[in-house]
Structure 1
């Protein structure tokens, strides 16, 4: 039997301020906040995945050997066109770092816009509709 991976279930995002980060991802990317576990940890749901939020310096364990804020580059796929994404980011006072620009994703050609979350993580928002 060959070992294979099917998909990503969740990604852990280490942040300097969980509330600020959760608010940003809810407001800018439309994710849904949820609490889970006995210690009421915070996660952000989108589609069939989620981001679990960890506070810098917390001892959640196990975690990355050098868990820190601002160390993530992540790409999210949207069904919207990039002009709509750029307009939405402007309405939310989020600066575009780059784009719209042609890129290559896991499924081929796409167009992307880049911005930064409150910790400075690079957030890529992409669409295969405009590939």
Structure 2
């Protein structure tokens, strides 16, 4: 039987400093921190998805991972339900430096307004809106 992917459940970001990363995603993007599991793990929940924060030097016995686990190598896009000027305003109020934008990009559902920044590990974070 063939299947088709329905949605993304979670992704994993490799980190040098999990607490610093969790704090940034909570403060800047409004995600909720969840501590779970054994050994202890940290996730950031939003909508129906989550991001697991993995120590970049975690052992294979503790955490199966990609072949190469380097902090700062992610490029992620998050959709928000506000207009692009509000994204810019929130970045400014949080002291986040804008790398690029606002610009128009082609998203999964069509054209969207995007603003780019970097998280504390250097990952490229795109925050986008399909709002006019």
Do both share a fold (TM > 0.5)?
yes
Corresponding position of 2:37: 37
- Runs of 5+ consecutive residues of structure 2 not aligned to the other structure: none
The Cα offsets for residues 5-24 of structure 1, whole Å up to 9 and x where unpaired, read as: 10000000101100000000
Corresponding position of 1:99: 101
Corresponding position of 2:47: 47
State the superposition RMSD in angstroms: 0.8
Say yes or no: does 1:22 pair with 2:55: no
Give runs of aligned pairs for residues 74-113 of structure 1, distance below 5 A: 74-113=76-115
Query: After the TM superposition, which segments of 4 or more aligned residues of structure 1 sit over 3 Å from their partners?
Result: none
Corresponding position of 2:65: 63
Across the two proteins, how many residue pairs are aligned to each other? 130
- Runs of 5+ consecutive residues of structure 1 not aligned to the other structure: none
TM-score (norm: length of structure 2): 0.95
Find the aligned partners of 1:61 and 1:54 in 2 and give their Cα distance.
Answer: 8
